Structure 1
Amino acid sequence: MLLYEELAHQLRTQIAQGTLRAGERLPSIRQLALHHGVSAATAVQACLQLEREGLAQARPRSGYFVRAAAPLAPIARSTRRRAPGTISNPMLQDVLDMLARSDLLPLHSANAAAELLPQAALTASLTHCLRRTPQSALDYAPPQGHLELRRQIAQRYAQLGVAVAADEIIVTAGAMEALSLALRTVTTPGDVVLVESPTYHGILQAIATLGLKVLEVPNLPDRGIDVVRLEQLLQQNKVRAAVLVPNFNNPLGSLTEDADKQALLASCARHNTIVIEDDVYGELAWSGQRPSLLRRWDKHGIVITCSSFSKILSPGLRVGWVIGSEWTDALLRAKYFSTVGVASLPQLAIAHYLHRHDMERHLRRLRRALADNGQRLHEGIARYWPQQTRASTPRGGLSLWLQLPPDIDVQALFEAALAAGIGTSPGMLFSSRGDYADCLRLSCGMPWGDTMDRAMRRLGQLAARQLR
């Protein structure tokens, strides 16, 4: 952890404990530098980090103050599926039409904007690989993926204290192929799969395609997966696998703490439930502190980990991976008989980028930008949207989850926004039965500017029009 992150963590803890209260002035930059033995520049960076997280506010010629609570109430809980059942949500069939449109401001897309990603460096790496190793770049890749890339991925896990061998890693076409391979390998049609609610609609589509039944466990905006309810559901049902997103769930942006991660793994081990971990957002902690993986706490060998470079480097290169543990051979066979292998050029280019460039420096910039975008969205909602609108307070990831007043028809708002050239994601997409009809997901991946400000104002006007 960098010095400014350590200092920000200490101040964040004091705010959470009430030592520093809303409206109170933070110690001056000079005091912070003197008392913590850091430079003034480090103290400034710590305060800026708290400002990006919405915990502090700069006042001209006065310093930094603890920000009062946002004028947005917490999200209320909704009902969840209480028994296993098939997925019956017609909206899941319609989402592809919206994803195919290129004429929308993409507030419906949980991706970082191109200007936040290292496009120039990746372009240089692609060019280098084509020029220096054209035969390898244009030939079939090994079904498991190029060894150098798998080594780079294993090294990144080693930095997180997770021992992963390159031979355990299978390169996939993004995280969605990794999740689909994992489900196909460990389940058979009719099996019950546990998911969070709300959860990413792509996970629900994968489960439906394989003829599996779904069981939903609440994901709580303030603490992540409800591990008490998870244990109850596993006691009451035979669950073959659980597809979980403990680090910055899409759409809530919630984080499951380490103690709860350990508890849910213990529950799954007791009930012989395989855990498929989707860690695609794990690198996007707005605080800068990368949370631990479920795999780190796995004492029983029940975790299959899936992730990708799509959210942090490039969505278009489609490079992800799955770590299969004892299922590696079966996953590799499934991979070979479905797509043979992932294209060579993107794999070689990303391996070259990771070797030549400072990935952590890029991630620090990306996290700061997403935290700033999220705070600006919060402020725009408070400024432009109906007063009763509620919003989550994400701790990371790319999503902001809204709950609108009961008089607003979210489906009508979604269609009106499309007509205005703005993409949004209705809450019904994120459950197996079309729950969350009063909710909406927005993307934090777009940098704030005049275009975003106008879009938030326009969405607020469309919502207010329904109230009137």
Structure 2
Amino acid sequence: METHTPYRYKQLSDLIVGMIANGTLAPGTRLPSVRAISEQQRVSISTALQAYRLLEDSGVLVSRPQSGFYVATTRRGTLALPSTSRPPVKASTVSISGAVATLLEHASNSALVPLGCAVPDATLLQSKRLDHVLARTARQYGMRYNAYCAPQGELRLRQEIAKRAMRAGHALSPEDVLITSGCTEALTLALSAIAKRGDTIAVESPTYFGLLHTLEVLGMKAFELPTDPTRGIDISVLSRLLDTKPVAACVLSSNFNNPLGSAMAEIDKKLLLKLLKRHDVPLIEDDVYGDIYFSSDRPKPFIALDGGENTIYCSSFSKSLAPGYRIGWIMAGLHAQKVLEHKLAFSLCSPSLPQVALAEFLASGAYDTHLRRIRRILDENLARMTHAIEASFPGDTKVSRPSGGFVLWLELPKRFDSRALFDEALKQGICFAPGDVFSASRRFRNCLRLSAAYEWNGRIEDGIRRLGRLANTLLA
């Protein structure tokens, strides 16, 4: 009979990990069914399932519907990691709106191989259940929700978001949450509430071009911080900056920076918060990729750590579930009243019906089931994409190895021109994101970002291989 201890499932998961490490279980091997392994190891079915789920969440195993659990395909690492960035030591005026508009126009063209847009494909998301909830809500309560809601958003959705925040170690009230039209509006509200035209904002380098575009529209300057492809920003450089120059705010990704995929360790996050507190500089954190992690535990956001009181938290469901619903949220803490005033001025409130449907979807537990599946698929997509890059791009290409999200950052030799590659790729029906749009100073011309957000198929793989051959030709 099984001894009921809280560690039995962990013992079983450790046994499986050991068998994978010593080669007994090779990548792609199908594991015994939950019932079979429960009998073999003399544990309950629930304990066996818990062990399998733990390994699935950490990326060791993958589950396939109607088939079972398999050892995940390990991602090779034969190519080096990208270099730590070395941006200029002064703030830059941002001017990238034209380049961003051109990129987004091509990225939305379904005739092109979709490697350029960091938005998950509807086929991959398979959010039919959410759409059914929306349709049912519209039929039953359409008239009720064809009206303005409270500026903060629908209470039920704010309650569900607050519940999920508690899982990440951040206790808050639904009153602390304000619903926005995606994370872009959240970031815009945060920046406009605490900074003014001409102010300097410290950002990662490279960083998301949407943030740079927002800074340009708001008339703010960007100070680009050196950023390591795995560890995140160089805190010592930020410290020297704060000692010598006025900085209105710092804007960072909580986890899995776009495009590098970097994620600061918790100890470094605490050091950063301590530094910002000493200088009384607010932090705006963008956590849109936080739920798409490949380890066993969700990394904590800054706002959930000691010293996070002067942090404005921004996120959305656009990267993990429903980009078309445009539902994001902001938790502004000390700046909540000013953010609310700006929300009223910008858009008054967000649409009610999608909020109600999403609240019901979250309450049902369907989102967690969806996340387990989407994490597995995106992790596998990145592995396959990495294989294709290694097989087709120049041998001295450097590639990021993110532990979450769904984008890869490629660095080629200094003489390489990703803009020239972009022009040639469009002629061959392929779209990607050239590196210079991820920098206010238009650096990273020799870099590019590829998105693994579409269902993996022959067209995607062929597009990457053709892109690699083009890169080889341009270098030669």
Please state which band the TM-score falls in when normalised by the shorter chain. Answer: 0.7 to 0.9
1:146 is displaced (CA, Å) by 0.7
Partner of 1:371: 379
The aligned counterpart of 1:78 is 85
Distance 2:370 2:162 in 1: 19
Q: Summarize the alignment of residues 109-148 of structure 1 with structure 2, pairs less than 5 Å apart.
A: 109-148=117-156
Does the C-alpha gap of structure 1 residues 27 and 102 become closer, same or farther in structure 2, counting only changes over 3 Å?
Answer: closer
Equivalent position of 1:60 in the other structure? none
Quote the offset at 1:130 in angstroms.
0.7
Tell me, yes or no, if the aligned pair for 1:7 and 1:46 is still in contact at 8 Å.
no
The 2-side partners of 1:398 and 1:181 are apart by: 26
Q: Indicate the residue corresponding to 1:214 in structure 2.
A: 222
**What amino acid sits opposite 1:452 in the alignment?**
I
Note the C-alpha offset of 1:49: 7.0
Checking the alignment, whether the CA contact within 8 Å between 1:136 and 1:344 is kept in structure 2 is no
Q: Which residue, 159, 162, 165 being the options, matches 1:157?
A: 165
Q: Is 2:443 the counterpart of 1:445?
A: no
Q: SS of 1:316's equivalent? A: helix
Greater Cα offset, 319-328 or 175-184: 319-328
1:218-243 deviations in whole A, cap 9, x for unaligned? 22112122222222222222111011
Q: Which residue does the alignment assign to 1:458?
A: 466
Q: Please give the per-residue CA displacement for 1:280-306, whole angstroms capped at 9, x wherever unaligned.
A: 110010224211010011436210000
Q: Using a 3 Å threshold, how does the CA distance of structure 1 residues 104 and 271 change in structure 2: closer, same or farther?
A: same
Give me the whole-angstrom Cα distance separating, in 2, the residues matched to 1:3 and 1:453.
Answer: 41
- What is residue 25 of structure 1 aligned with on the other side? 23
Aligned to 1:342: 350
Partner of 2:428: 420
Structure-to-structure mapping, 1:262-341, within 5 angstroms = 262-299=270-307, 301-341=309-349
Q: Distance in 2 between matches of 1:194 and 1:10?
A: 45
**How many Å separate the matches in 1 of 2:74 and 2:108?**
40
Conservation of the 8 A alpha-carbon contact between 2:58 and 2:296: no
Question: What is the identity, as a one-letter code, of the residue corresponding to 2:131?
Answer: T
Residue from 227, 230, 240 that aligns with 1:232: 240
Name the amino acid aligned to 1:229: V
**How high is the TM-score relative to the length of structure 1?**
0.88
Partner Cα separation in structure 1 for residue 189 and residue 336 of structure 2: 11
Matched, 1:384 2:392: yes
Q: Within 2, Cα distance between the matches of 1:7 and 1:265?
A: 38
**Aligned residue for 1:59?**
none
1:100, distance to aligned residue in structure 2 (A): 4.5
Contact 2:60 2:71 in 1 (8 A): no
| Matched residue type, 2:23 | R
Give the aligned residue type for 1:25. Answer: G
Alignment deviations for residues 231-276 of structure 1 (CA, whole Å, 9 cap, x no partner): 2222222111011103000001111110011010111111111100
Distance in 2 (CA, whole Å) between partners of 1:100 and 1:48 is 33
Residues 443 and 36 (structure 1 numbering): CA distance in 2 closer, same or farther, change over 3 Å? farther
Q: Which residue of 2 aligns with 1:431?
A: 439
Aligned partner of residue 401 in structure 1, secondary structure: strand
The CA distance in 2 between the partners of 1:269 and 1:51, in whole Å, is: 36
Deviation per residue, 1:334-384 (Å, 9 max, x gap): 111111111111111111211234221110111111100000000001112
Q: Aligned ranges for residues 83-102 of structure 1 at < 5 Å? A: 83-89=90-96, 91-92=99-100, 94-102=102-110
Distance in 2 (CA, whole Å) between partners of 1:457 and 1:2 is 46
**Is contact 2:313-2:330 (8 Å) kept?**
yes
Q: Give the CA deviation at 1:199.
A: 0.4
What's the CA shift string for 1:176-233, capped at 9, x where partnerless?
A: 0000000001111111111000100010111111111211112211212222222222
Structure 1: give runs of 5+ residues left out of the alignment: 55-62
Cα displacement string for residues 112-154 of structure 1 (whole angstroms, at most 9, x for unaligned residues): 2212224211111111111111122322222111111111111
Q: CA deviation at 1:407?
A: 4.5
Structure 1 distance, partners of 2:10, 2:112, is 36
- Unmatched segments (≥5 aa) in structure 2: 1-5, 63-69
The match for 1:203 is 211
CA contact (8 A) 1:144 1:171 kept: yes
Task: Assess if the C-alpha contact under 8 Å between 1:129 and 1:137 holds in 2.
Answer: no
Q: Which residue of 1 aligns with 2:3?
A: none
In structure 2, C-alpha distance between the alignment counterparts of 1:2 and 1:428, rounded to whole Å: 49
Preserved contact between residue 53 and residue 286 of structure 1 (Cα < 8 Å): no
Q: 2 CA distance for matches of 1:410 and 1:445?
A: 21
> Does structure 2 conserve the Cα–Cα contact (< 8 Å) formed by 1:53 and 1:371?
no
Q: Which residue of 2 aligns with 1:409?
A: 417
Q: Any idea what SS the aligned residue of 1:97 has?
A: helix
Q: Deviations over 1:291-325 (max 9, x none)?
A: 10100114362100000011111101100011011
TM-score (norm 2): 0.87
Asked whether 1:355 is paired with 2:353, we answer no
User: Aligned pair in 2 of structure 1 residues 430, 457: CA closer, same or farther (>3 Å)?
Assistant: same
Alignment RMSD (CA, Å): 3.1
Q: Distance in 1 between matches of 2:472 and 2:8?
A: 45
| Native 8 Å contact 1:52 1:372 kept in 2 | no
Q: Secondary structure at the match of 1:262?
A: helix
AA aligned opposite 1:77: T
* Structure 1 residues 121 and 415, CA gap change in structure 2 (3 angstroms): same
Q: Report sequence identity in percent.
A: 36
1: CA distance, partners of 2:86 / 2:115: 26
**SS in structure 2 of the partner of residue 78 of structure 1:** coil
Contact 1:25 1:64 in 2 (8 A): no
Q: What is the Cα deviation at residue 68 of structure 1?
A: 8.9
Q: Secondary structure at the match of 2:443?
A: coil
Q: 1:304 to 1:40 in 2, by over 3 A?
A: closer
Answer whether contact 1:401 1:442 (CA < 8 A) is retained.
yes
